[in-house]
Amino acid sequence: MSTREVHVGNNLDHDLVLEGDVAIVGSGAGGAISAEILARAGLRVLIVEEGAYPTPEEFTLREVPSFARLYNDGGVRPTKDGAIAIVQGRTVGGSTTVNWTSSFRTPEPTLNYWRDHLGIQGLELEAMAPWFETMEQRLHIAPWETHNLNNELLARGAAKLGWRHGVIKRNVRGCANLGYCGVGCPIGAKQSMDVTAIPDALDHGAALVTRVRAERLQLSGDRITAVEGLALDARGVRPTGRRVSLRAPWIIVAAAALSSPALLMRSKLPDPYERIGKRTFLQTHNYSLAFMPEVVDPFSGVQQSIYMDQLTWRDGVAGRAGFNMEAAGAQPVVTMNFWKGIGSEMSEFARRLRHLHTLVSQIRDGFHPDSPGGEVHLRDDGGAVLDYPINEYIWDGVRSSYLAMAECQFAAGAESVHPACSDAQWYRNWSEARAGISALRLRSSSVFLNSTHPLGGCAMGPDPRASVVDAFGRHHHVANLAVFDGSVFPTSLGVNPCLSIYALTARNATALAERIAGRAIS
Amino acid sequence: MDSRMLLSRRGLLQAGLLGSTAIWAGGLVGCAARRVAAPAAVAPRLALSPAGEEILRAVMPVVLGDLLPADGAGRKQALDAGMASLDDYLAHLSLPLQAEALDVFETLDLLPVRVLLVGTWSGWRQTSAATVESFLRSARGSRFDLLRRMYAFLQSMSVLAWFDQRAAWPEIGYPGPPIERPAVSGGQA
């Protein structure tokens, strides 16, 4: 193994110009898998990442400093009206470094919807299966059978109600069941990009530049000639004045939803049908809190190992907002942040932490005319902000999932349930909860909403009037540009997205490698 | 509305919160420079303004109630460590978000806002816990999204400031991380 080439942006004392075969913006699920495939094909790969590159030994396991350092905007990147906090990683490995490892294949109803309603060919279940298998092997994705009580209770409630549920697959190797995935796996067991595809790409001659923000793509005719970046200070906040230029005949944008479309917009790339940044989805997450008679210890053990998907397609794929259900226990700051109490409400709640059971629902969006998603806009400083108004379609999903989560928690034996909403109250049984939640006033900033699954904004599709890239991630108007990340999905997914991004990227990056190399890549 | 302005003075005025007392408020906004001068921060800060620190030192004990140590030294340590941790957190946010946080603090420190919304003529440090609590409760249940957002922000900052501290853990039964790692800079207690 030769020395790995990593340039630390905040330490640069001169402008940096690198030349290669492919330049990649972003080192998360899309960027890293692309880098590995292209570097292994013998190409000189250049990767630029806005975050830093901590090693597993450097993760502190402390919540607040980790949110500050490993997440974009401290894990609370707000939508335009502030109603939803977007949670995205900003570190080498992107969100894979801080996600909870829940790995799902793209559901068949989603793939079929893309084919039947959006005309996307080649991504059917059979066609994608080999790519899912390849990535599952690569990242040691397998079912996880050691459930903490927070998950066990979800299974118990779902079983009592006869709701379909199952075991989650996770990308781990030698996992010690600590439950600290969200602050960076301290033992390197999580097979996130920072310990898998990125080091592998570096060992195959790739160069990585950290703490550099890709400012714009340099367009010349119908081709991009370079990625122009600004080096940032050690916190990743202020430009240092040093510039970084990555020159390559092929460019991959993999900066994720919000940031990928924003980069295309800042670069003023052709967008004749104004599609860039449109149809950005959040799969909005809402939460339900319950106290259980037994000790749950939600901060300990793998956070997510059981899913419930009985209601994801409850009204058909194109019907009312469906949602899944998963456990959402974590360390005290995350857990306490679901609760907006004051004084004695807060102290009484906190003192019962060990008995707290927390569920999350993810409300799928993008499959219905009343669910067009949000739009990315550029702020004055060039940064991205997502305008995602919450309409009645989404509120219906919020109310329905509050009801379902409460029903599930009471079925699992809860003593009391409280939706994560300041206007709600503690309900002592299911009938009280059903009445209370049905009448509950749902309004922004009172309902706790966030999203760890921002998707879309550079939608794929066959028709340039309705999409930004084709189903191989190739930009409709710029010859040497591809987008390989979660921003290409034309709807949300109905499941946690990481494996869908790995698999689609593996397919599309392999096709690109073959095109560049002019031969088949095994 | 630009996201930066959501919680700003202009946003507050646009939302019509002060509209019903426009003449009075107008006069007071006119002499907004008469904010109570905040005393120098106890430590040099990267991103937390003196006004922000004053406000959070008043809000944090109200939000957390008797979870905070009762004795003077323990409480001071909890607040000091909380402020250092928040300063480090805020200093890692993008500049527009940092500016928005500063704007909230500046707005809440304006005399007319303190008088009309919080119900106090004195500075945040001198305002009683009961007055702060009553402001927080009314903001939480307000019909104005802007005030509910302010509540969520201040409450959330208090949660961040406390529950990551070792001193918070025995009371809530959290054993702490299973692996000891050295703290990073930024006042982690």
Catalogue all structural domains in chain A, each as residue range(s) with its CATH number.
Answer: 145-185+285-364+391-443 (3.30.410)
Cα R_g (chain B), whole angstroms: 17
**Interface residue A215 vs chain B (CB under 8 A):** no
* Predicted confidence band of residue B3 (pLDDT cuts 50, 70, 90): very low
Q: Are A475 and A468 in contact (CB under 8 A)?
A: yes
For A184, the token pair is: 């960076």
Chain A residues near residue B101 by CB distance under 8 angstroms: none
Whether the pLDDT of residue B2 is over 50: the answer is no
Residue type, A129: A
Q: Work out how many CB contacts closer than 8 A connect A with B.
A: 167
Whether the pLDDT of residue B35 is over 50: the answer is no
Q: Do A332 and B2 touch (CB under 8 A)?
A: no
Q: Are A437 and A446 in contact (CB under 8 A)?
A: no
User: Domain boundaries in chain B?
Assistant: 3-31+48-172
CA distance B11 to B7: 6
Please give the residue of chain A at the shortest CA–CA distance from B155.
A340
For A329, the token pair is: 């226990």
pLDDT score at B185 = 53
SS3 at position A47: strand
CA distance B37 to B57: 16
Q: Which residues, in sequence order, are CB contacts of A519 under 8 Å at separation 6+?
A: none
pLDDT cut 90: percent of chain A above it: 98
* Predicted confidence band of residue B12 (pLDDT cuts 50, 70, 90): low
A421-to-A365, A443, A454 alpha-carbon distances in Å:
21, 9, 22
SS3 at position B165: coil
- Mutation site, A338, A445, A448, A449, interface B, largest B CB count within 10 A: A445
Tokens 């996307």 correspond to what residue?
Answer: A120
pLDDT cut 70: percent of chain A above it: 99
Residue among B6, B88, B163 whose CB faces A68 most closely: B88
Helix A392-411 / helix A149-161 crossing angle, nearest 10 deg:
100
Q: Do A65 and B91 touch (CB under 8 A)?
A: no
**Interface residue A287 vs chain B (CB under 8 A):** no
pLDDT score at A68 = 98
Determine the average pLDDT of the residues in A132-153: 98
Whether the pLDDT of residue B31 is over 70: the answer is no
What is the DSSP secondary structure assignment for residue A116, as one 8-state letter? H
Alpha-carbon dihedral sign for residues B105, B109, B113, B116 = positive
Label each residue of A225-294 as H, E or C. Answer: EEEEEEEECCCCCCEEEEEEEEECCEEEECCCCCHHHHHHHHCCCCCCCCCCCCCEECCCEEEEEEECCC
CA distance A335 to A330: 6
Determine the average pLDDT of the residues in A238-252: 98
Residue among B65, B85, B174 whose CB faces A299 most closely: B174
pLDDT cut 90: percent of chain B above it: 71
For A49, the token pair is: 């990442």
CA distance B77 to A363: 42
Q: Are A77 and A53 in contact (CB under 8 A)?
A: no
Q: What is the largest CA-CA distance in chain A?
A: 68
CA distance B108 to B115: 10
CA distance B136 to A297: 30
**Interface residue A446 vs chain B (CB under 8 A):** yes
Stated as kind and residue range, the H or E segment containing A515 is helix A498-517
For B89, the token pair is: 């957190």
Whether the pLDDT of residue B43 is over 80: the answer is no
Q: Enumerate the H helices of A98-146 as residue ranges.
A: 108-118, 125-138
Measured in degrees and rounded to the nearest 5, phi and psi for residue B24 equal: -60, -50
Alpha-carbon dihedral sign for residues A460, A464, A466, A468 = positive
Q: What is the pLDDT of residues A235-244, one digit of tens each?
A: 999 999 999 9
- Mutation site, A67, A336, A339, A375, interface B, largest B CB count within 10 A: A336
pLDDT score at A520 = 85
3-state helix vs strand vs coil in chain B, percent to 5: 65, 0, 35
Q: Which residues, in sequence order, are CB contacts of B60 under 8 Å at separation 6+?
A: B68, B79, B82, B157, B158, B161, B162
Distance, in angstroms, between A395 CA and closest chain B CA? 16
**Interface residue A445 vs chain B (CB under 8 A):** yes
Distance, in angstroms, between B73 CA and closest chain A CA? 20
Whether the pLDDT of residue A121 is over 60: the answer is yes
- CA-nearest of A398, A382, A402, A483 to A444 is A398
Q: What is the pLDDT of residues A63-91, one digit of tens each?
A: 999 999 999 999 999 999 999 999 999 99
**Interface residue A423 vs chain B (CB under 8 A):** yes
Alpha-carbon dihedral sign for residues B162, B166, B172, B174 = positive
Q: Do A354 and B89 touch (CB under 8 A)?
A: no
What is the per-residue burial (b if ≥16 Cβ within 10 Å, else e) of A272-307?
eeebbbbbbbbbbbbbbbbbbeeebbbbbbbbbbbb
For A168, the token pair is: 């989650």
* Predicted confidence band of residue A55 (pLDDT cuts 50, 70, 90): very high
Q: Enumerate the H helices of A337-384 as residue ranges.
A: 344-351
pLDDT score at A521 = 78
For B94, the token pair is: 């993008």
For A211, the token pair is: 């703490």
Q: Do B89 and A74 touch (CB under 8 A)?
A: yes
Chain A residues near residue B66 by CB distance under 8 angstroms: 344, 347
* Predicted confidence band of residue A270 (pLDDT cuts 50, 70, 90): very high
- Mutation site, B67, B134, B138, B142, interface A, largest A CB count within 10 A: B67
For A481, the token pair is: 């540009």
A286-to-A217, A335, B11 alpha-carbon distances in Å:
37, 13, 27
Residue among A64, A237, A347 whose CB faces B164 most closely: A64
Q: What is the pLDDT of residues A390-433, one digit of tens each?
A: 999 999 999 999 999 999 999 999 999 999 999 999 999 999 99
Q: Are A379 and A385 in contact (CB under 8 A)?
A: yes
Q: How many residues does chain A have?
A: 522
Q: Do B188 and A380 touch (CB under 8 A)?
A: no
Tokens 């075991």 correspond to what residue?
Answer: A167
Q: What is the pLDDT of residues A347-387, one digit of tens each?
A: 999 999 999 999 999 999 999 999 999 999 999 999 999 99
Whether the pLDDT of residue A39 is over 80: the answer is yes
Q: What is the pLDDT of residues B138-177, one digit of tens each?
A: 999 999 999 999 999 999 999 999 999 999 999 999 999 9
Alpha-carbon dihedral sign for residues A128, A131, A137, A142 = negative
Q: Are B40 and B50 in contact (CB under 8 A)?
A: yes
Chain B residues near residue A74 by CB distance under 8 angstroms: 89, 92-93, 97
pLDDT score at B28 = 36
- Mutation site, B174, B185, B188, interface A, largest A CB count within 10 A: B174
* Predicted confidence band of residue B18 (pLDDT cuts 50, 70, 90): very low
SS3 at position A455: strand
Q: What is the pLDDT of residues A461-520, one digit of tens each?
A: 999 999 999 999 999 999 999 999 999 999 999 999 999 999 999 999 999 999 998 888
* Residue A373 zone, left/alpha/beta (φ > 0; ψ -120 to 50; rest): left
Stated as kind and residue range, the H or E segment containing B150 is helix B145-163
Do strands A285-291 and A356-363 pair parallel, antiparallel, or not at all (unpaired)? antiparallel
* Predicted confidence band of residue B67 (pLDDT cuts 50, 70, 90): very high
Q: Are A217 and A263 in contact (CB under 8 A)?
A: yes
Distance, in angstroms, between B119 CA and closest chain A CA? 18
pLDDT score at B188 = 52
**Interface residue A163 vs chain B (CB under 8 A):** no
Q: Do B164 and A62 touch (CB under 8 A)?
A: yes
Chain A residues near residue B169 by CB distance under 8 angstroms: 332
- CA-nearest of B118, B186, B108 to A66 is B186
**Interface residue A344 vs chain B (CB under 8 A):** yes
Distance, in angstroms, between A136 CA and closest chain B CA? 29
CA distance A48 to A54: 15
Chain B residues near residue A78 by CB distance under 8 angstroms: 3, 97
Measured in degrees and rounded to the nearest 5, phi and psi for residue A141 equal: -85, 115
- CA-nearest of B155, B168, B150 to B62 is B155
How many CA atoms are closer than 13 Å to the CA of A303, on its beta-carbon side? Answer: 24
Whether the pLDDT of residue A233 is over 50: the answer is yes
Residue type, A287: Y
What is the DSSP secondary structure assignment for residue A195, as one 8-state letter? G
Burial of A267 (0-12, 13-18, 19+ CB in 10 A): buried
Chain B residues near residue A354 by CB distance under 8 angstroms: 172-173
Q: Do B181 and A346 touch (CB under 8 A)?
A: no
